[in-house]
Each structure stands twice: as structure tokens, then as C-alpha cells.
Chains A and B, each alone.
Chain A
Amino acid sequence: MFGGTRWAAVLALGIVWICGAQAARAGGVNVQRDDLQRDVAFEREPKRIITLLPSLTETVCALGACDRLVATDRYSQWPPQVGLLPKAGGLDDAEVELIVALKPDLVLLSRSQRIGNRLAELGITSFALQTDRFSDIAHTVTTIGAILGLSREAAQLNETIAASVHEIGAQALDRRHGSRPTVYFEVDRAPYAAGAASFIGELLARLGARNIVGADLGAFPKLNPEYVVRNNPDVIFISRADAPGLAERPGWDQIRAVKEGRVCSIAPDVNDEIVRPGPRVADGMRAIGECLSRLSP
């Protein structure tokens, strides 16, 4: 009996909620569904925004709404003017007090950040976005554009990004006369590799490179180092800090890329562009594409 009553109440609440949502849409309220499948209603365009992920900061600024930001996470440093904004912590240690004190009308965050629930309890609107894959870039730009009332700018930005990425990919293949070198992209000395399933892997594929780490191994697998020796890549991408010790790893001096000096060392600022799926994707792709063209056999 109790169970029946409870379910009836839940059903009634559900109907009320759906009707309410319809009414909100009908009343001109902008409702957007975030990547946690929550419907978030915006009665007006947000004017005081806090971003808790660099790629989201970059997206807001690329849409021309940098002046609406009142704080960012501590790792956002592009464009340079966001460096002057208050820093509200990082991915897992966002500063709730600072966020509340700044009275934002929107906090943009990653899907994996736990702070969203706490912000909801405090009555602060948050919107979670997934920003892991290449396809997430267009989705993020479109969604943020829709929230900020900048849908036209978002469509333009997406067109620009898509055209640049396509052009860089085609140019890279042209410059290498169609050759498709095998590539190993190391994200960490463990060695963790960027597999074909990762964002970096997608960029490499668009540049016409063949990743030695297949999609079946996951986005960033921790490899047995001998796997790299066995697969003998033509080109290796590695951080500037780890590049000098490459030949000292057991057996790695026999890898074609190491023997022939085809190692692209990645500077930290370029690294930011290629690990953050955001509006600067074309810059990052250009940087690795140039190195790939220069060093390919």
C-alpha cells in the first residue's frame, strides 16, 4: 500500500516537473541539458561566470565573453587576461567560499568535478560539460554559446575550428607526400601513451600518422616499455623533460626514431594546446603536424 502511494507521489511529482519544464520553455526560459543529464534553466544570459577547467575558460573567451568571467580555475592562463582573475582552485579542490563570495550566476565545470552537488546545495547554478574527445569541442562550443546567447558566434567558431583542422591535416599529408609514419606519443615516462582512443590520438590520426597504440588499449594505457621497442615507431613525441633520457632506457636506443633522431620534444606551452580539447586545438595540431612533417622518414 505504502509502496503504491509512494510511486503515485513520485509519478505526480514527475508530471508536475515535466509540465513545469514545458512551462519554463514556453515562458522563454533557456533550458540546456548538461553532460550529467541535468536540465539547467537560465532565466537570463549569465553575466558573472566562473570556469573551473582551462578548456572551458578558453571556450568562453573564444566566444568573445571573456569579460563575463569573474574567476577561473588556477590552471587557466589563456588568453593572458584571465591570468589577472581570481583563482578558484583546481579540478578537485575548488574553493567553495571564494565561489560563493563572487556571486556567480553560472559555474562551468567538468563532468567529473564533485563540487557541482555542493554548489547546488548553496543555490549556485553549475553546468557540467564533458571535454575529453575531439567531438566534445564542437558540442562544448555550441552549448556554451547557447547558454550565453552567443549561438551565432558559436557556429562561426565551430566552422573556423573545423576548417583549420581539416586544412592542417591536408597540408600535413601533402608536405609528407602522403607518407603515414608510425608514431608513439608519450604523455608520461611511466610510460603512459596517448592511444588512438585519446584526444591526442585523434589529432594524430587527422594528421595522417599511424599510432602504434591501438584504440583497444584505451585512451592512456600504461605500457610495458618493450612494446614500444617491438613496434619500432618512426617518430616519437615526448615531453621536453623526458626527451634527454630516451636513449638510456633499456633497448630504446635500438628504436628507429631514437637511432635516427626523429624525436619531437614538446614544450609545456605547446603541451597545454594539445592536451586540452578546446578552441586552440588547431594551434596544437599545427605544432605537432609541423614536427611530424619535419621528422618523418
Chain B
Amino acid sequence: MVALDDPPAVAHRSSPTRRRQRSPMTWLRRGGLTTLVFFLPLLLSFAYFSWWPILRSLVLSLQQTNFIVTEWVGLANFERVLADPLLLTAVWNTTYFTLLAVAIGFPVPILLAVLIAEMRRTRGFASVLAYLPVIIPPVVSVLLWKTFYRPDEAGLFNTILGWFGLGPLPWLNDPNLVIPAIVVQATWASFGTAVIIYLATLMTIRTELYEAAEIDGASILRRFWHVTLPQMRGILLIMLLLQLIGTFQVFTEPYIMTGGGPENRSMTLLLLIYRYAFVSGDYGRATALSLLLALALSLLSAIYLWATRRWSTS
């Protein structure tokens, strides 16, 4: 969004008359150097911990290295990534996971936030409850859910199913259930943050709007549709984008719960990258796939922003 807003502003600032006044001397005299010095720690941190690694991975993707002898191989790493039959499986699994995670994980927090916002006395308590799962360290919560999903009768979910004479289901052992099962866990673990953000946005919507709608005889559903949603659209769009990018990079859950199994049915792109790097020691191929993923996500984000640009500018 920033990128779309910026160009006109930049064009304005660098108009010919203004530029002429800005010689290095005036820059110096106006304290430009001081600004730079204060800016340095930030610049340094980003350069060392973010931009340098990015640059390094660009280089690494064109090399074959054991970190002792390094060889330039051109685009061979990319060719090998694209020729890997597991790539298609991983792309499909990741896409399926993302769609399912967004289909469940996007509306649920909105509805919960709206419900919590309606509560008068218990609002604080309810938001704490909603946020609790986020506080649990990810690995702990994934391991916890792994035992919930135990495939024998002793598993939590199978015990519950047993009360109704159902199951036991194999859960993570079932090729068709494994992704939905992981999505449920991932949603449970992360929806709290979204609820809190939505709740904060809901608090900023002016009550007069609701009052006016009520006077016009709008039902709860219509008020939600015509007042709440349009007022939240900016944040909704950003959250959806963040969720898309976030879920596309799913790793911890399948890594701990299933190791990509059964039969690679939960093999995601990041898990594949991890395998390339840390199982095969093939850093070239790992960085090549990372770059392809980054490219795909940037493209996705650009298309998304372009497609929703009219809707997002209020």
C-alpha cells in the first residue's frame, strides 16, 4: 500500500526548484550528518541481519557449496528445484493449507471479535481467554495437540468421539485428515492476535453509525454487513494479506506433528526447504526454492494490492 501511495509524493518533493537548493553543504549544515549518525544503528542492524543475509542467499542460490569449496553453477539449483517431483506436492499441500487456513482462520476471529465487543462486563475476560493460546510457546502447543490427535482410543479427540460411539479416527495418520487437522491447530494457536486487533478496530467505530442504522430499522446482521464490515475494511484487507503470507510459510506444525507425512501429504514448501538445507546439506537448492517462494509471495501480494486498491482506499 505504501508503495502505491508514495510515487506522487516523491515526485512532488523532488521538483526541479527544490532539488537545486539541496547541495551537500546545505545538507550538512542542516544537520544531515547528525541524522545519519542517529540513523546508523538502524541501518546497521538491518544491513547486517536482514539485507546482507538476503544478498547472501541470492549469491548462494547460484552456487554449490560445502562451505569449504564453493562452485558457481548458474541456474542449475533452480533447475533441480523445478525438476523435483516433491515440489508439486509441496505447492499443492501448501496452497491447500493456506486456502483452508484462511477459510477458517479469517472469519472466525472477526466473528469472535464482534461477539466480544458486544459483551459489556466480561469483555476484558473474554479477550484474555481468546488471547491465551497465543501465549503458549508454539512448539509446546503443537506437541500438546499432537497428543490430542493420538490415533488410539486414548487420544483426547478420540475419547470425545467415543462418548458418541464414533471413531477412533486416525487423525494425523490419515492422508485426507492430516492437513485439516493441522489447520485447526494452527488456527487455534493464532486466532487470538487477530481477535485483539479486530477488537481494537471495532472500538474505533463511531457508535452514532450503529444508532443511525438502528433508527433506520436495520437488524443485527444488516448492521454488521453495512456498518461494521465497511468500517473495518482497511484492517481486514491487511490482515488477510498477512494471513496469506503467514500461512504460506507454515513450517512448525507439520515439522513437529507429522514430519511431512503420511506419504508427504503434509509436506509444505518450507519443510521442503528445510529438508534441502539440513537433511541433504544442499544449501544452493534450499536458497533457490526460498527465493522462488519469496518471488511468488511478492507477486501474490502485488496482485492482491492491485486487485483491492480501490476497496482499500477509504
Q: Tell whether A and B belong to one assembly.
A: no
Q: Give me the interface of A with B, judged by CB distance under 8 Å.
A: none
Which residues does B use to contact A, with CB under 8 Å?
Answer: none
